A and B are shown apart, each in its own frame.
Chain A
Amino acid sequence: MQFWRLFSRNRSAVMGMFILIAIFLMAISAPLFFPADPFSLAGQSMSPPGANGFLLGSDSLGRDVAAGIAHGAKTSLLIGLLATLVAVFVGVIMGALAGYYGGVIDNLLMRTTEMFQTIPSFLFAILLVAIMKPSIESIVIAIAVVSWPAVARLVRGEFLSLRNREFVQACHTLGMGDVRIMLGEILPNCLSPIIVIGSLMVATAILIESGLAFLGLGDPNIMSWGFQIGAGRTLLRSAWWVCTFPGIAILLTVLAINLVGEGLNDALNPRLRDRS
């Protein structure tokens, strides 16, 4: 396991991975520990942590904060992963076409990318969700739409530098088709940076989702960390726990993903391999 050896050299990345695994386990075991609907009124409202059987307290309507965090983990991870997958998929296609063909196609696709990049991404996401009505699909689409340009630029750069390499030319002399060269020959050679940018993008996606939910643009039927913070916002001085614990959950998740992303970067980037 050479990859693991390289990855584990970065201690904080390993720590990040353990945190991430813990959050993941929490997400899938949420129905086990908190079988009730996290929106249901579970007891006395505004209970501080530890009181009235609430581990992390309850909010103004008596909803269990701990249950919300456990169920919200699923939402955050799911939206983060889905949105990233869509963004990477679109970005890779756009970037690959632009980088491989160059010329007019490159110009056209890159100007389009720039158009997306000129709009501040969070505002753009708000706009999209507001137009499409808040739901899990619309949030995933909104996050993907604001995230793909970064992937497209990265992939374009990689394709530009790889398309003139001799091994690609060798494929041309064999008479290989363009699609096969792009997918079979060039793409495997730029997987490492794509994996790295993808992992970091999951963290951004979780942040955007939380932000949207905080503003009340989340899916109203699904518990999420951003929604919890939004609901507790007005009580910050009287019931600090309602905002604080979901906030810590977001912080830990995003931090863990960033650490893992950094670790992947160190492990997959051969130029950094020998730095100590």
Chain B
Amino acid sequence: MTRLLDIKDLHVGLPAGGQRKYAVEAANLHLNDNEILCVVGESGSGKSLTARAIMGLLPKPHVHIAKGSVTFQGEDLAAASEARLRDIRGSEISMIFQEPMTALNPVMTIGNQIDEVFRFHEKMPAQERRSRALKLLQDVQLPDPEQALGAYPHQLSGGQRQRAMIAMALALDPKILIADEPTTALDVTTQAQVLRLIKQMQESHGTGVVFITHDFGVVADIADRVAVMQNGLVVETGTTDEVLRRPTHPYTQALMAAVPSLIPRPPRPRAEERVLRVNALTKTYRSGGGLLGGKARVVHAAKQVTLDLTRGETLGIVGESGSGKSTVARCIVRLTDAEAGEILLGDTDLRPLGRAAMRPHRAKIQMVFQDPFASLNPRAKVGRIIAQGPEMYGASSAEARDKALELLKIVGLDDRAYDRFPHEFSGGQRQRIGIARALALEPQILVADEPVSALDVSIQAQILTLLDEIRDRMNLSMIFITHDLRVAAQVCDRIAVMQRGEVVEIGPTAELFANPQHSYTTELLAAVPGKGWFASETKPLTEAS
């Protein structure tokens, strides 16, 4: 075992006047060959900047290495010249990114982009370059490597693009691979495949991998050693076994505790009264075609979707991207018009209603959105954001104000929030504001579209608890859209699994998890990262070791 990389006392300085002086402070890390080091932390922990510091890819001059060394094979990269770093990048140390669509050049074929790596670093005939590129694409198990060579990034799926990125990164057999959240943008089943691929490639090439992630499930699946970062400090390092089974730092313990368990919570009695019935809802998107002919693309976003929701119940809709789960949610709140089917709220079918006819029903179904940064008007004060709903339905401005203040208290924010702008709040706080806005009209049904997927895991837990409290307190019914089965297990009474626009399985959470009927459900369950580690709320694995 040789030591590839030695990071000593690394300080990454931030521009003056920021929240803190260093993005990364006194970091000591090392990486051996043939191992995967996972750097875990929440947003703002400095994990990504640590990775970039190794590559010399910090956004200079504002962010720079202020102190410390990054030693790679006896050479200090922190002091290396730009020309030397260019030599090292790609050939000795390479990197894969979170979003392969933006990391790949959209106007160059995959083949050309891999070819570039060879051309920049080595001299070899075109014929050989091509055959090596082909071999690489075979190694990363792309379905049709010949075709992938000539394909543009947009012609591949997300998972295929990430495979192509990995092929590119491994083209010159680097000693170190840095992976910055490489699976975060991928669906859970694709994520499992890509993780497996990275592990395989790492083992067969003996590469040292620095793997940046926020997800402890991924850590458990892939890491040999773990470093936990918080606010720029490395608070704990150790082997995966040590850190996951016997975390010593309170922050690590808190993070682990916040990972939702896959064991569904105990079932609750189901009320008889059905507040919403969705019958055979169908929505098709058509694109392309047009004047000059061409083939129109038809996507069945929702095909004959049938669901029902009783009072006080939380119905989860889970599925991967493109499964139509968001489309169903948007049809129910009437942001999108479905072509066929019924949306029965009580006895009224909402689907055929026009805007004016829909208006009196709007208040009864409200929505919580995914992105807490995009869902609040940046130019409006929080008080107005919450109060404008009741005002529109006839409340006086004093009443609306009282209502808004009361709601702020319910969602756990204090009165001072009323006169502030959204950008003064953190992601979790903004999501609370979004929830308060949805509650302001006293809805019967709350549709939450991935309400926690943009949040850090510790904040996630708080928001989920809040949603639970609110549902009980106001006797709300909730439709909860998520891609994360762990989250679904903790909040949903029943779960509907969607695939390609169809509900393939629906049932009470515990039954569905224990005994999935459809092969796709089984596949989803199998792909949840870190299954073996975080399988239960008590941690019996401590004894198992």
Kindly identify, within residues 486 to 510 of chain B, every residue whose CB is under 8 Å from any CB belonging to chain A: none
Stretch from B37-45, B72-80, B357-365 that touches the partner? B357-365
Q: List 17 interface pairs A-B (beta carbons < 8 Å), by A numbering.
A: A166-B369, A166-B371, A166-B374, A170-B367, A170-B369, A170-B434, A172-B335, A173-B335, A173-B366, A174-B366, A175-B358, A175-B392, A176-B392, A188-B377, A188-B379, A188-B380, A189-B378
17 further A-B pairs in the complex, CB-CB below 8 A; given A167-B376, A172-B335: A165-B374, A167-B375, A169-B369, A170-B367, A170-B369, A170-B375, A170-B434, A173-B333, A173-B366, A173-B367, A174-B362, A174-B366, A174-B388, A174-B392, A175-B392, A188-B379, A189-B377
The CA of A39 and the CA of B314, in the complex, are separated in Å by: 82
CB contacts under 8 Å to B, within A127-171, are 165-167, 169-170
Closest chain B residue to A175 by CB distance? B362
Chain A residues with CB below 8 A from B286, complex form: none
B-side interface size class: 20 to 34
- Asked whether A167 and B377 contact (CB < 8 A) given A174-B392, A174-B441, the answer is yes
Consensus secondary structure, chain A interface = helix
Chain A residues closer than 8 Å to B438, beta-carbon distance: 173
Q: Would you give the 0/1 interface string for B217-232, flagging 1 where the beta carbon is closer than 8 Å to chain A? A: 0000000000000000
Instruction: Give min CB distance, B410 to chain A, whole Å.
Output: 18
> What's the dominant secondary structure at chain B's contact region?
loop
B392–A185 CB distance below 8 A: no
Instruction: Tell me how far the C-beta of B345 lies from the nearest C-beta in chain A, rounded to whole angstroms.
Output: 14
| B residues with CB within 8 A of A | 62, 333-335, 358-359, 362-363, 365-367, 369-371, 374-380, 388-389, 392-393, 434, 437-438, 441
Please give me the residue from chain A that is nearest to B365 by CB atom.
A173
Known: A172-B335, A175-B359, A175-B363. A167 touches B374 (CB 8 A): yes
Flag if B335 contacts A166 (CB, 8 Å): no
Nearest CB on B from A188, distance (A): 4
Q: How many residues of A contact B (CB 8 A)?
A: 14
User: Nearest chain-B residue to A166 (Cβ)?
Assistant: B375
Please name all residues of chain A whose beta carbon is closer than 8 Å to the beta carbon of B437 when the two chains form the complex. Answer: 170, 174
A169 to chain B, nearest CB (A): 6
- Shortest Cβ distance from A98 into chain B, in angstroms? 20
Closest beta carbon of chain A to B13's beta carbon, Å:
15
**Interchain CA distance A167-B384 in the complex, whole Å:** 13
Closest to A187 in B: B379
| Set of chain B residues within 8 Å of A185, measured between Cβ atoms | 377, 380
Residues of B with C-beta under 8 A to A174: 362-363, 366, 388-389, 392, 437, 441
- CB-CB under 8 A from B370, the residues of chain A are 166
B489 shortest CB reach to chain A, Å: 26
Tell me whether A169 and B376 are in contact (CB under 8 A).
no
Known contacts A170-B369, A173-B335: A189-B379 contact under CB 8 Å: yes
Q: 5 tightest A-B contacts by CB?
A: A175-B362, A166-B375, A188-B379, A166-B369, A167-B377
Interface string of A242-276 (1 = CB under 8 A from B): 00000000000000000000000000000000100
- Complex Cα distance, B378 from A173, in Å, reads 18
